[in-house]
Structure 1
């Protein structure tokens, strides 16, 4: 697989951190008014060693070597990694980055967040509710990356009875940003693959910038220079 592939995703006017997106599947989105507003802890949720081991803020990162610069995201290039950019159908806006690595896929999005409070504790509850309302299951897992959400969603109509798509949702609250990942593939059931993909996730650098952006709004993703040259942009 080449370094850059572009494929389209279901259209969404303003991508939000609490919208349910699973790589490779078109998932029905629920109206926010259908979701309950439970009490939640608004403290930041992140690994205790995040600043040392990642995911990093651009002001913390000391990583060396070639990087793929995507604007709000910088990802160290590594052998065997495929990178795909997910594009909104109508506006052609880049809305997510999918990294294919070790027979797994990690879909990554960075969002604006408040300086002193976090988003993941609340968003995790809302994502779980969306999964359950669509006939799936969701349970929380305690991992080195914090509290994750393990989900199973029924496949679309026509699939064998009982067939489902599994995914893990990972969320990390950083300084004025929230990084969300959806993990699928081999890493869901293979410890070695999971460890390698989690290390890849931890190597990501988030560039928040100084521009005012409402909390939960997607941070802008840009086409890398090498790709822009290929496309003649």
Structure 2
């Protein structure tokens, strides 16, 4: 066998291996940045990469001077997203469900597209509104998606939000992080901040995610 033929066979095998790695092994996400996932342009917010939807109004949400989440507005509804660091050995959703239910007695567990979710009524600043809490445990991260408004009770409107969540990529990174610490976010095309910040835990400090303009 000639050297040229062997080299060509080797190159073909490497190309096939790369293609196999690029094929997702699940039907949908949210995806971990290190696993095979659909390769298309997304909005790069650092810890989260979001799919494009021209109908959505996407905004960063902050606690103090730190970006800790995302608010998506559409059709009299909102989708709030928070990505948190999780332990290697266990997920966070069971513990976080308990915390959420303790502060909202009218929420009930039900089966959803991502597994068990919480749905019902919540009271914010004296006003009652419908809400859905969806928790997704990933490798060393946890993603919380909170649906408020019309989409919390209208499955047709909610479907667009759920499809959005299915194509999110979570970038956990390799740096050590405390349990439930917010995975850092930044504005698109903004360079990561190198200075160390005090960890922010939205479940222990302050109310639910706030909207920034």
Question: TM-score per shorter chain, which class?
Answer: 0.7 to 0.9
Classify 1:202/1:214 alpha carbon distance in 2 versus 1 (closer, same or farther; 3 Å): same
Larger gyration radius, structure 1 or structure 2: 2
Q: Aligned partners of 2:63 and 2:124: how far apart in 1?
A: 22
Q: Aligned partners of 1:184 and 1:209: how far apart in 2?
A: 30
Counterpart residue number, 1:110: 83
Indicate which of 125, 128, 131 corresponds to 1:156: 125
- 1:52 is paired with a residue whose SS is coil
Counterpart residue number, 1:5: none
- 2:119 is paired with a residue whose SS is strand
What is the RMSD of the two structures over their aligned residues, measured on CA atoms?
Answer: 2.3
Q: Does 1:83 align with 2:52?
A: no
The superposition leaves residues 129-167 of structure 1 with CA deviations (integer Å, 9 ceiling, x where unpaired) of 1223xxxx111111121110113223435xxxxx51221
Deviation at 1:184, TM superposition (A): 1.0
Q: Aligned partners of 1:79 and 1:170: how far apart in 2?
A: 23
Classify 1:209/1:185 alpha carbon distance in 2 versus 1 (closer, same or farther; 3 Å): same
- 1:128 is paired with a residue whose SS is helix
The superposition leaves residues 62-106 of structure 1 with CA deviations (integer Å, 9 ceiling, x where unpaired) of 3233211011100011221111111223xx111210112344211
Q: Aligned partners of 2:74 and 2:132: how far apart in 1?
A: 15
Indicate which of 98, 112, 116 corresponds to 1:125: 98
Q: Aligned partners of 1:51 and 1:65: how far apart in 2?
A: 17
Taking the TM superposition and a 5 Å limit, the aligned residue runs for 1:1-233 are: 51-89=26-64, 92-132=65-105, 137-157=106-126, 163-225=127-189
- 1:193 is paired with a residue whose SS is helix
Deviation at 1:114, TM superposition (A): 1.2
